[in-house]
Chain A
C-alpha cells in the first residue's frame, strides 16, 4: 500500500510487470519471426486479428500498437516523421502512417524497451481496414514502397449492427483474404486453429468488457493511463487461450480492488472521460491531472471499445455483446466461424464507433459512457494526428455539455510530439478544473 496519506487506499496493479513483459515478448516474437522460420503479418486490429490465426507459422502484429510504440519513443518518432516529410508527406497526414512509413524508409525500428533495431520488420503480408480512409492509404503506400502484398478490407457502415448485407459483404472479404494469404505466403490455413481462435477472441473481448464495467465504481479501480497498457494482449494476441487466462486474472484483481476500495487515484475527487487515442508521446498529461487535482480518467469510448465488443440494450445502456458461442452460433466450418466473427466484431468493437458511418451514434456513445461511468466531466482530445477521431470531438463535447457534463477539447497529436503545447495545456486544464470547483491538491511536505 502507498504510505502517503490519501483519501482512498491505493496500490500498484499486480499484473503490471507481466503485461509489460508480454508486450516486449510479442515484439520480440515478431522481430525474430524470420530467424525462427515464421512469417510476419502486420494487420489492422479493427475487424479481427483472429482471421490470421489459422496460419500457424505466422507471427501477427497489430498495426496500431506497432505505430503507437514508435510514437511513444519520442526521439525515434521524430526521426520517422521527418523522414516522411522528406518524402512529401505533410504534417496533417495520419500520424500512425507516418510513424510506420518513417521506420520503413529508415529501415529501423524500436522495441518497447527502447532498443533500436536495425530493420523495420517488414511484413510478409499486410492488412488494413477502411475504418478511416487514411488507414487503407497507409497500407497502400507501405505495400508499394516495400513490395509487400496488401489486403485492405472494406469495413462498411457498422450501425445498426446485425445487417445481413454487411455480414455477407464482410464474410466474403475475409474468406477471400484467407485464400489470398494462402497463395501469397504458400502457407496452409488451419480451420481448426482458426475456429478455436474465434472462441478465444470472444472470451478475451468479453472479459475486457467485464473489467471495464468495474470501473464504474467509486473509487475507480483503474485509470486510463494504466488501462492503455492492459489493452496490449487483446490488440496482439486475442486469439490465444493464454490471453483469456490473463484477462481472467485481471478481472479478478480488479474485482478485488473494488471489493477492498483500492483506488487507481488515491485522492479521486473528479471523474472524467476522454474520447480518443491519447497523445502517446505526452502521457504525462494524465499524471498532471491526477497529481495536481485528484482527477481520475475513467476511460473513453476509444479504450472501452478497443479491446471489447459492446452494444446498446433496449434502455440505451452499453452492455457487452454476447460472444458467438453465447449467441448460440455454430462454429463448425470456416465459413460459419468467419460469419460469427464478423457478426461479433461489427458491433462497437475496436474502433468501429469512429467509422464515419457511425457518426450517427459516436456522440451518443460518448455521452452514454460519461453517464454510465459516472463522470463529472470530459477532457476530449482533438487529435490532429487522426482526423477520424478529431472530427467528431467537438460534437461529442456538445453532447456532453447539453447533458450538463462540463467538457473541454484540447489540441494534441497521438503520434507527433512536436504538435503538443504542454505549458498551455496545463493552464487550460487549471482553468477548467478551477471553474468546476475542483480544488488543487496540497503538496506533500
Chain B
C-alpha cells in the first residue's frame, strides 16, 4: 500500500527530472524545513528537500571538516558535489542551524546554480516582532522569485499553493491517525516514506496518492506484532534502514508509532490559516509550527509537544537520536531524557553518522526493548 511512496522517494532524482520535462517548471532545492515552500510552489516551482543518501563523499572534506560538521549535512553536500542534484535550478535556505547554513553557502559558491536565496528566518519563533519581520523577509523573497522567473506571484497563486500544502499536511496527519490504534495500521518505516516523498513531490500529485491510500487503509490487515510502541525524537530522519532495523529485525517486536522530527510530525503538525495578507499568514504558520531546538527558546515549546504525542500515540519507549556534531539536538537531548525519565519512559540515546553501526544499534535497541517487555 505504501510502496509507491517508497519508490517515489528512492527515485526522487528521476521524479524531479521527469516533473521538469512534463511541466517545463523550475526545481529548487531547500535544506531545512523552514524554507517557505508555499511561495516557491506559488511560482510554479517544485521545491525538493535536499537529502543525503547515507553515502560518504571525499569531495566534502575540502569544505567541511569531518570532525566538526554534522553528518547529515555533509552527506547532503556530498550528494550535491557528486552531481546528483544537477537538475536543480536554484537553492534556498530558511535559516536554522549553523550546519545547514554552511552547506548552503558552500553549495551556492561551488556548485553551479542559477538562483540562490538565503532567508533570514527568525532564530527564535517566540520573540517580539517576529511575524511582521518574517513576512517582510518573505516579501523580499517573493520579489526575488518574480524577478528570476519573470512572472508575478498573485494572491491566487499563493492561495493555490497554500491549499495544496494544507491539504498535504492534513492528509499526512489523517494517515498518521491510524498509528494511534492499538495495532497501528501504518509502520514507522512506511510513515517515513510517506512524509519524505511529500517533500520531494508535487504536492497535488502526492495528495492524490494519499487519497487513494486513505480509501483502503481502514480495512488494512497487518501481518505483524505491534510490540513496544516507540517514539523517535531528533532532527532530520531519512534513515529507512534504521526504521526497518527497529521494526523488522529485532528479536522482540516493536513499532515506531510517532516522531518529533523535522521530516515527520514537526513538519506536518500545523497549517497556514488563510488571511488577507498571505505572506503574513505563512509567516504565522512557520512561527507557530513545533520548533526545532534551534528555535525553541526562551520557553521550551518542544516539551509540551512531545508530551502531547506521548499521550496521543500511547508511547511506551523513546529513542532520542542526533546526527553526529548536531549540537542543538545534543543540548536538548540531555533535557528531554531527564523529562522522559521522570515519566518512567525507557529512553535510548543514539548518535547517527552518515552510515549507522547496525550491529551496535541492534544490541542497544534490543536491550531497551527488553526493559519494556518485563522479561529480565
Contacts and interface: CB of A to CB of B under 8 A. Distances in A.
Contact of B325 (A92, A165, A169): A92
B128 A172 contact: yes
B95 to A, nearest CB: 6
Interface in A164-218: 165-166, 168-169, 172-173, 176
Nearest to B325: A92
Contacts of B106: 395
Contact of A152 (B105, B132, B297): B297
Interface in B92-126: 95, 97-99, 101-102, 104-106, 109, 118, 120, 122-124
A136 B291 CA distance: 14
A227 interface: no
B65 interface: yes
A394 B63 contact: yes
B328 A134 contact: yes
B297 to A, nearest CB: 5
Contact of B130 (A92, A154, A357): A154
Interface in A338-365: 356-357, 359-360
Contacts of A90: 330
Interface stretch (A117-125, A277-285, A294-302, A384-392): A384-392
Contacts of A388: 98
Contacts, number: 130
Interface stretch (A58-66, A137-145, A368-376): A137-145
B372 interface: no
B115 to A, nearest CB: 15
A272 interface: no
Interface residues of B, number: 47
Contacts of B62: 394, 398
Contacts of A114: none
Contacts of B327: 92-94, 133-134, 387
Interface stretch (B2-10, B155-163, B211-219, B331-339): B331-339
B286 to A, nearest CB: 14
Contact of A87 (B95, B328, B334): B334
Interface string B11-51: 00000000000000000000000000000000000000000
B335 A133 contact: no
> In the complex, which of the residues A89, A134, A151 has the most CB atoms of chain B within 10 Å of its own CB atom?
A134
28 contacts: A90-B330, A92-B325, A92-B327, A130-B123, A133-B123, A133-B294, A134-B327, A136-B124, A136-B298, A137-B328, A137-B332, A141-B331, A150-B298, A151-B298, A152-B124, A152-B127, A152-B297, A154-B124, A156-B133, A356-B98, A356-B102, A382-B65, A387-B325, A390-B65, A390-B68, A394-B64, A395-B63, A409-B65
Given A133-B294, A152-B297, 8 more contacts: A89-B334, A134-B327, A140-B300, A154-B122, A154-B127, A165-B140, A359-B105, A391-B102
Q: 6 closest pairs, A vs B, by CB? A: A359-B105, A157-B120, A356-B101, A130-B123, A88-B334, A172-B129
